Structure 1
Amino acid sequence: MASFTRTKIELNEQESKLRNLLLDVARYIDESKEIKDALELRFAGGWVRDKILGIPSHDIDVAINAMTGYPFSLKLKEYLEIPGNLEKYAITSNDVGNLHKIAANPEKSKHLETVTVKMIDLDVDLVNLRKETYSEDSRNPQMEFGTAEEDALRRDATINALFYNLHTGEVEDFTGGLLDMESQLIRTPLEPHQTFMDDPLRVLRLVRFASRLNFHIDATSELSMSEPSVLEALRMKISRERVGTELEKMLKGKGPRDALQFIDRLGLYSTIFTDPHLKPIPAPDSSRLKLSYECLENLRVNETPGSIYQSLVRSDDARYFAWILAALTPWSQIPGEVPIKPGGRATIPYAAMVAKEGIKANNKICSVVTGALRNYIQITELKNAINNEDARISERDTIGMQIRRWDFLGGHWRLQALFALLVEASNSTEQEGYGKVFAEWQRFVEHLEKLEVMDAPSIRPIIDGKQLTKELGVRPGIWMAPALDVCMEWQLRNPGETDFAGAVEEVRKRKDELKIPLK
């Protein structure tokens, strides 16, 4: 294993240009005598960590010792407007984007004003070094200018508390982060319990970095992360948008299975996957969650042409949705639905409410979750019928229309089928393994592929409502939707047919059933 204790960082061309530019801006400010202390600039946190680990990074936090980010950014802009200065760094005005000031928002765990700017194809954040002081009655800290060491100590993990000093070219480590990186360890710079009580979001950040980097969390931190007082603070004091953002980064990152394993093992599930403002809300049994996320990981790592995973998970979005669904399988145990709005008539399954309000998932995800919870039993029944070779499984129109209905109720019907598989896997035992489950669902996929109905929801109707009313010579009415379904059924029985005459004739034959006022 490489030693990081005497680490040197080699800058690429873009980073070198940025370093030289920022150092010249610092000298420009120093020479103006506008501030008392000489400026010191450092690249901070995640960029330093990733650079040492050999992970490409385009996001750079610049920590400033004696100015806040906004006035520094104005002097940067002023410096670059001086004729000839852009050319010194072989850049143009197009290489420097607009300044974006982001105000502090303590209620959403955004404790400090920052300025972001796109420079030389790098996303740069400008912020001052600071220390934080917490009072017992508030999780929002008092922010003050601090030293580099004080800034390092207030961070969530030692591996995120490293600095690259632009003036010396040295890595500065005030918390033992380099040794922790060598040991592949996630550890808080200060005592864990107080660290998490000061800002409970750090619990999720440690899980995210551990799963992304394949590191382990030190035992003392893990104990504190699972304490009831910390979990209650995370549940009630952190905005659900922030919880959802951290979860999304975990499940879109390199180790989604590991992230769910940490959440499961540390007892974080009921704190994350809940709606803290919905009273009362049932608590599902998450003791079998492991079977669900291990099943999805098994499918993913064994993906081959024509496999279950390749057939059901077909995009980057779908991969993320799949992990959300795996995490929500315990909610399949909770029957019933809850109003979308207090006192409202429209309802959604509890799992969809947890997605909507608990992790602030977008509407598309909430729709998929709703469809998955409402349809997984029917989808499983079709899987069983196929494996039992029931007579109806050869009826392309019947199965195709069923798939279209599932897709209409939530979209992404393939992911709904994946959810049904994961629920079944979570109801098995570890001793049984996934062999029987995988074999049956593989037959399900292959049968539907053979029938050419996997894409039934995207089949373009051979005739629309306007054409149908014209052919029948009647006004539109409540008969229209079921009549168009009859046309689609006919179309599914006659794949490749381009003349809609047969579909119209089928509707005529069933005019009494459809209550069409034909003369």
Structure 2
Amino acid sequence: MTTPPPQPFPAITLNAREKQLKTLLLDAARFIDDQAPAAGGREKPLVLRWAGGWVRDKLLGVSSHDIDTAINALTGEAFVDALRDYCDVPAHRARHGLLPADIGRLHTVPRNPDKSKHLATSTIKLCGLDVDFVNLRRETYAEDSRNPAVEFGTAEEDALRRDATVNALFYNLHTGQVEDFTGGLADLRARVLRTPMEPLQTFLDDPLRVLRLVRFSSRLGFRIDEAAERVMADARVLEILKIKISRERIGLELDKMLKGEHPVEALRLIDRLGLYHSVFTDPNRPDMPKPDTTLWKTAYECLAMLEACKIPGAIYDLLVTSEEARHYAWSLATLTPWEQLPDDPPLKSGKAAMPLPTQAAREGFKAPNKLSDIVTGAHCHRAAILEFREMACARAEALNERGRVGMTIRDWDARGGHWRLQVLFALLVDVADCVGTSKLERVRQAVLAEWYHLLVRLVELDVMDAPSVKRLVDGKLLSQELGVKPGKWMGAALDVALEWQLRNPGVTDPAGAVDEVKRRRDELGIP
């Protein structure tokens, strides 16, 4: 039986904004070419191509708002400068129906060869789309250097230096045709990620391509070519990834993975390929320990299972309440292996050292301060959170004290933020510790049942939103009612008033809270 030939992809159809942008860029290119003789000349006319992800996504029927524009004979920055000159002419703006908001500010990311960022990229908002401009290039590596010589190149040379064949496709603005120099269309049909050139050399040239393939595999549901997968965890590649690639670039790739629809697929690949210790570490600390990642799978698979449960009032629904919280939840899941290690000794000043999971987040993928604070809070409060879980299981009377419980939750939230996510972190670590290498689903369900029992009790106490409860008593009122000036006693006194308020939900008169402070005046050291 004869195998039918593969069906061609449909021609790329541009939407209204893309058509507007295409016409604008082509007219600007002609304008720039016309100016070239006066500027000293340029042998080649400009050829513009949309490259990479936009082409791939259009062929897959996925909308994209980011467009990479590859230029044959100008740098991205030079082209954008000339483009802005073109758009400064009122007749040109009118011809293309450009409004003031259609042309944004230019931002150029400089090259940084020491961190495998080999070419400056110029970005500007045009016609409602985020457009990057960069020249076609070829990269030549000397035997004694990992920093390439970067020169203007052809479209084929540019395609060969990209991370995957499906990302090496071009859409020629002048011909309206897709250009495939590396077999990307066939790989797109086969749903496979393959490097245009020899995989090991591709990853040694720029190890960030390892994480990019992980991201695209998890996002697109494509498998990674066996030849590429075999060398993604090569010791040489991982060492360069660890010490050479800027942690900001690693953090950007990780962010895109964890904010995607299938973060668990990315973590499965990172785990299976042995990439963990090159990503989640402090590369500048020679003695940074390496946690055992054997049980990590139990934690991130648990989060995936919880997220998949769409029942209102389920564990995930109670603990993850926004898209931002979802991103933080998956970020926390990456750090659970660090909880098995003892803390670093105190600093010479006597101050506690930064927790190891926080170090791995801050220095490993440049976690922002807000996420780093959550990680620190989750680590520091884990024992107290576990104690709450045990109290719930034992039906301890102390967990019926709404004031105490509410104040504890407020403290967790004040010392880290997102207290619900701190509880989630403790839960994931607990599942990994208790279930371990056991594959018995009933073991995991038994552990989760204990945590659910705690959350149900907190809901019954109506303390889930305790951190946002507005105080009935402020410092000014308290000082007036007590007839004394504010002092060191004020903070503790305000907490006493707030705890009374939590014990008496629904009360709007502050008198009872003030009386409670007066009753404990001596204990609080109020003059």
TM superposition score normalised by structure 1: 0.95
Aligned counterpart in structure 1 of residue 398 of structure 2, from 392, 402, 405: 392
CA contact (8 A) 2:473 2:510 kept: yes
Equivalents in 1 of 2:388, 2:220: separation in Å? Answer: 40
Q: Does 1:471 align with 2:481?
A: yes
Partner of 1:174: 181
The residue that corresponds to 1:431 in the other structure is 440
Aligned residue type for 2:351? R
Match of 2:22 in 1: 19
Closer, same or farther: CA 289–308 of 1 in aligned 2, 3 Å: same
State the match for 2:337 in structure 1: 330
Please tell me whether the aligned partners of residues 371 and 409 of structure 1 are also in contact (alpha carbons under 8 angstroms): yes
Structure 2 residue 285 is matched with structure 1 residue 282: no
**Hey, what does 1:487 align to over in structure 2?**
497
CA contact (8 A) 2:251 2:365 kept: yes
Counterparts of residues 444-459 of structure 1 (less than 5 Å): 444-459=454-469
The 5-angstrom pairing of residues 274-353 of structure 1 reads: 274-337=281-344, 345=351, 347-353=353-359
- AA in 1 matched with 2:29: A
Q: Counterpart in 1 of 2:125?
A: 118
TM-superposed CA distance for 1:5, in Å, is 4.4
Q: How does 1:495-514 map to 2 (within 5 A)?
A: 495-514=505-524
Which whole-Å CA distance do the structure 2 matches of 1:396 and 1:185 have between them?
A: 55
Matched, 1:45 2:34: no
Cα 1:361/1:4, change in 2 over 3 Å: farther
Determine if contact 1:4/1:179 at 8 Å carries over to the other structure. no
The residue type paired with residue 138 of structure 2 is: K
Measured against aligned partners, the alpha-carbon deviations of 1:180-204 in whole angstroms (never above 9, x if no partner) come to: 1111111111111111111111111
Spell out, residue by residue over 1:218-251, the C-alpha distance to the aligned partner (whole angstroms, 9 max, x if none): 1111111111111111001111111111111111
Query: Secondary structure in 2 aligned to 1:314?
Result: coil
Query: What is the distance in 2 between the residues matched to 1:474 and 1:29?
Result: 76
- Whether the 8 Å CA contact 1:5–1:179 is kept in 2: the answer is no
- Does residue 77 of structure 1 match 2:84? yes
1:69-148 equivalences under 5 Å are: 69-148=76-155
The separation in 1 between residues aligned to 2:90 and 2:416, in whole angstroms, is: 58
- Cα gap change, 1:512/1:265 in structure 2, threshold over 3 Å: closer, same or farther? same
TM-aligned CA distance change 1:311 to 1:67, over 3 Å: same
Corresponding residue for residue 32 of structure 2: 29
CA distance 1:79–1:4, shift in 2 (3 Å): farther
In the TM superposition, what whole-angstrom CA distance separates every residue of 1:416-462 from its partner, at most 9, and x where no partner exists?
11111111111213214531123222222121111111111111222
1:371 to 1:16, Cα distance in 2 relative to 1, 3 A: same
C-alpha deviation, 1:464, in angstroms: 1.8
Q: Residue 390 and residue 2 in structure 1: after superposition, are their counterparts in 2 closer, same or farther (change >3 A)?
A: farther
Decide whether aligned partners of structure 1 residues 313 and 88 sit closer, same or farther in structure 2, where only a CA change above 3 A counts.
Answer: same
Which position in structure 1 is the counterpart of 2:427? 421
Q: Can you give the 5+ residue segments of structure 2 that lack an aligned partner in the other structure?
A: none
**Quick one: structure 1 residues 252 and 449, their matched pair in 2 at CA, closer, same or farther if it must change by over 3 Å?**
same
Q: How does 1:348-359 map to 2 (within 5 A)?
A: 348-359=354-365
Q: Is the 8 A contact 2:116 2:244 kept in 1?
A: no
Report Cα offsets for 1:268-314 as digits up to 9, x if no partner. Answer: 11111111112312211111111111111111111221111111101
Map residues 179-190 of structure 1 onto 2, 5 A cutoff.
179-190=186-197
What is the CA RMSD across the aligned residues, in angstroms? 2.0
Per the alignment, residue 63 of structure 1 pairs with 70
Cα distance, 1:300–1:3 mapped onto 2, change above 3 Å = farther
Quick one: distance in 2 between partners of 1:397 and 1:515? 21
Q: CA deviation at 1:402?
A: 1.5
Structure 1, 129-138 or 449-458: larger mean CA deviation: 129-138
Aligned pair in 2 of structure 1 residues 31, 464: CA closer, same or farther (>3 Å)? closer
Moved more, 316-325 or 23-32: 23-32
Query: In structure 2, what is the Cα distance between the partners aligned to 1:484 and 1:358?
Result: 40
Query: Contact between 1:2 and 1:182, CA under 8 Å: does it hold in 2?
Result: no
| 2:388 is the alignment partner of 1:378 | no
Instruction: Please name the residue that 1:230 is paired with.
Output: 237
Q: Which amino acid aligns with 1:123?
A: D
CA change 1:2–1:381 in 2 (3 A) is: farther
* Unmatched segments (≥5 aa) in structure 1: none
Q: How many corresponding residue pairs? A: 516
* 1:2 Cα deviation after fit: 12
Tell me: CA distance 1:451–1:6, structure 2 relative to 1, closer, same or farther (3 Å): closer
* Cα distance change, pair 352–100 in 1 and its aligned pair in 2 (3 A): closer
2-structure distance, mates of 1:85, 1:10: 25
